[in-house]
A and B are shown apart, each in its own frame.
Chain A
Amino acid sequence: MWDYTDKVKELYKNPKNVGSIPDANATAEVGSIVCGDALKLYMKIDENHVITDAKFETFGCGSAIASSSALTEMIKGKKVEDVEHISNQDIVKFLGGLPDEKMHCSVMGGEALEKALKNWRGIKTDREEDVEGEILCQCFGVTDGLIRRVIRENHLTTVEDVTNYTKAGGACGSCIPKIEDILAEELDNKKKEPEKKAEKKPLTNMRRIQLIDETINNVIRPILQEDRGDIELIDVDGKDVYVALRGSCSNCLVSNVTLKNLVEGKLREFVEEDIIVHESQK
């Protein structure tokens, strides 16, 4: 038995906005009966970009029905600009969570919304354009574009995650090596991102000191205080930061570790990559 939230149960038992809209001006169909779940989304959008009506038809399990119903509730009566960034994570949040193996149901909702809005804007989304690259998983027709997006949006790290969210790799498994490659690439890209940010904005002395102070007060001190410790900023000299550990930290045997891992780590994360933290003897 799945551990569905009450919200999921409520929505598959009594789904809202079921049916079709004959004069819809934004529609999309995702999934297929072969794969075991499919969603057809209908929207009516007026000249002010307000989604005046949204309905769905779903072939699928309880969580597929609940995800579809949730999506229509989240977009009905809203402006296109306010909902176009709704992702599968927002749907999961609305539902109060989904079992790991059912994440792909929420992805189907996000996909349908994106495709329907493209349809409304008159952007062609026939098979050719929709693939966003090559079809990687032949069994479920999943493209590398979708896999990359889902990895980024949900911070996925394993093949198992990718299968839970997109179904890719869940049948014959022949695409698993390719998924592994994509995961490795995406993780690599993610690592490079903060470096780029740091390079972009060289900090002024004033701004650096400000950021160091804020990070210590808002990030580092609360963590230390949980262990009845404290920290004091003594001095900043270029990228050398001098601090003193107080409270239970002051005579802690692992204070060096705290200094390097926590204090320096956080300052490097939030301020600059090459900050060096020293313990002040004052």
Chain B
Amino acid sequence: MDRVVYLDNNATTMVDPEVLEAMLPFLTERYGNPSSIHSFGGEVGAEVDRARMNVSKLLGADYDYEIVFTGTGTESDNMAILGTIAYYKEKKHIITSRVEHPAILALCKKLERDGYHVTYVPVDSHGNLDMDMLRDSVTEHTAVVSIMYANNETGVIFPVEEIGAFLKQRGVPFHVDAVQAAGKIPIDVNKINCDLLTISGHKFHAPKGVGALYVRRGTRMRPVNYGGHQEKGRRPGTENVPGIIGMGKAAELAVEHLKNHDGMKRLRDKLEKGLLSQFKNSMLNGDSESRVPNTTNIGFEFIEGEAILLYLDDKKIAASSGSACSSGSLEPSHVLRAMGVPFTCAHGSIRYSLSRFTTEEEIDYTLSVMPEIVDRLLSISPYWDNEKKVCKPVNF
């Protein structure tokens, strides 16, 4: 392979060339401020609104003004929670899941220190949410429920429509972190019945540094930042115009490509089946059915994830791991731990995430180099009998 085989699209994606092309004028001659009275700026404002329309279409929103552009997915997540609890000041209870992104979990930890009570709904071994517990924990003190649409590590999709219908009935605000769903599966905010929904541009072929928060018409929240009138005062500050234009174009393209996602799913399945059948000592992390079509997370027993990534890197393949060592923490990822993935392979879990640019050749190449890498690391492992090709009986 003469170029990098990029299988880390849940981390970030390539900017689509068409997106770049749409952005370029706004980095050069069309530099006007969208808020200006003169047409040089005003015309840029019209383009920002066109981008807003495209993003609203991607999410199935009724009104364009329900889209608030932000800087990142993390910012949108924070704005959704902080803005809502600032409005419902007397309610001190938040519900989320144990496998959320740190953008939500770290914020909830902080709010716990500030006196909030947070319920972290657990998941089962397939990564599916404990719906009974979620339903049971809702009370009249619940200020907001925040649940992710799809998990970043396993790709498992949560039943947000079911949750949304229940919460609507109970009158509890519902935020969905859809960062890993946007561009991968169709999103319809009206089917979900959510009040707030977060997306991030760079996860679906827009550049980094632009996100959006869907805020349903009539949703009660207070601004988190104060300043100008931009984004109707919800997110003051001069807009990241090139980023917003890029996100608008990326949303438009995503709507097109979502009509035919079978190709990506076929390649993901080919990779997954190929790996699981080649390696006896491997297992799939996450529900095999309810999943976004680009992600597979596979645990390789008795070898360590960072070592696999380094050997893959040597073969010019970029992937990701939930292992402790690769992140600098000392425990495997909170997602794998919440799922109770056996420790024999939690440390050896690799996430491969594809995009619409992934080719069959790249998948075949990855499948062809994996045996060499796994065998090499097994031959170093103290838990592997190289002659009998079985796990050694050891005291863990």
Contacts and interface: CB of A to CB of B under 8 A. Distances in A.
A and B associate in one complex: yes
A57 B381 contact: yes
Nearest to A31: B382
Nearest to B310: A62
Given A34-B396, A36-B324, A101-B328, A15 B380 contact: yes
A57 B344 CA distance: 16
Contacts of A140: 330
Given A36-B332, A38-B382, A101-B328, A61 B396 contact: no
A115 B323 CA distance: 27
B326 A61 contact: yes
A12 interface: yes
Interface in B331-372: 331-332, 343-344, 347
B177 interface: no
B282 interface: no
B38 to A, nearest CB: 46
A37 B380 contact: no
B379 A59 contact: no
A61 B304 contact: yes
Nearest to B332: A36
Contact of B307 (A32, A38, A60, A163): A60
B383 interface: yes
A62 B307 contact: yes
A13 interface: yes
Interface in A105-142: 139-140
A40 interface: yes
A85 B396 CA distance: 29
A58 interface: yes
Interface in A57-96: 57-65
Given A101-B328, A140-B330, A170-B330, A36 B304 contact: yes
Given A18-B380, A40-B382, A12 B310 contact: yes
Interface string B297-316: 00000111111001100100
A36 B307 contact: no
B307 A33 contact: no
B154 to A, nearest CB: 19
A58 B17 CA distance: 44
A213 interface: no
A163 B330 contact: yes
A163 B227 CA distance: 43
A33 B343 contact: yes
Contacts of A33: 302, 343-344, 347, 383, 394, 396
B380 A58 contact: yes
B15 interface: no
A171 interface: yes
Contact of A34 (B325, B343, B381): B343
A167 interface: yes
Contact of B329 (A38, A102, A170): A170
Contact of B380 (A65, A99, A101, A102): A65
B325 A60 contact: yes
A163 B329 CA distance: 10
Contact of A12 (B307, B323, B328, B347): B307
A37 to B, nearest CB: 7
Contacts of B326: 61
A29 interface: yes
Given A12-B307, A170-B329, A58 B347 contact: no
A34 B396 CA distance: 7
A270 B332 CA distance: 48
A40 B306 CA distance: 19
Contact of A36 (B323, B380, B382, B383): B323
Most buried by A among B307, B311, B326, B329: B307
A58 B381 contact: yes
A98 interface: no
B66 to A, nearest CB: 39
A57 to B, nearest CB: 4
Contact of B330 (A59, A62, A99, A167): A167
B148 to A, nearest CB: 24
A101 B330 CA distance: 9
Contact of A18 (B304, B323, B379, B383): B379
A39 interface: yes
Contacts of B344: 33
Most buried by A among B304, B324, B344, B394: B304
A112 to B, nearest CB: 11
Contact of A58 (B332, B382, B396): B382
Contacts of B381: 57-59
Contacts of B396: 32-34
A141 B331 CA distance: 14
B312 to A, nearest CB: 12
Contacts of B324: 36
Contacts of A163: 330
A41 to B, nearest CB: 10
A139 B330 CA distance: 10
Nearest to B331: A171
Contact of B382 (A15, A34, A57, A61): A57
A32 B303 CA distance: 12
Nearest to B301: A33
A57 B380 contact: yes
Interface of B: 302-307, 310-311, 314, 323-326, 328-332, 343-344, 347, 379-383, 394, 396
11 contacts: A12-B307, A13-B310, A13-B311, A18-B380, A36-B330, A38-B382, A60-B307, A61-B306, A64-B304, A170-B330, A171-B330
Given A36-B331, A60-B307, 20 more contacts: A12-B307, A33-B343, A33-B344, A33-B347, A34-B343, A34-B396, A36-B323, A36-B324, A36-B332, A38-B383, A57-B381, A59-B380, A59-B383, A61-B306, A61-B326, A64-B304, A64-B307, A101-B328, A163-B330, A167-B330
Interface of A: 12-13, 15, 18-19, 29, 32-40, 57-65, 99, 101-102, 139-140, 163, 167, 170-171
7 closest pairs, A vs B, by CB? A170-B330, A61-B325, A61-B306, A57-B382, A40-B382, A101-B328, A36-B324
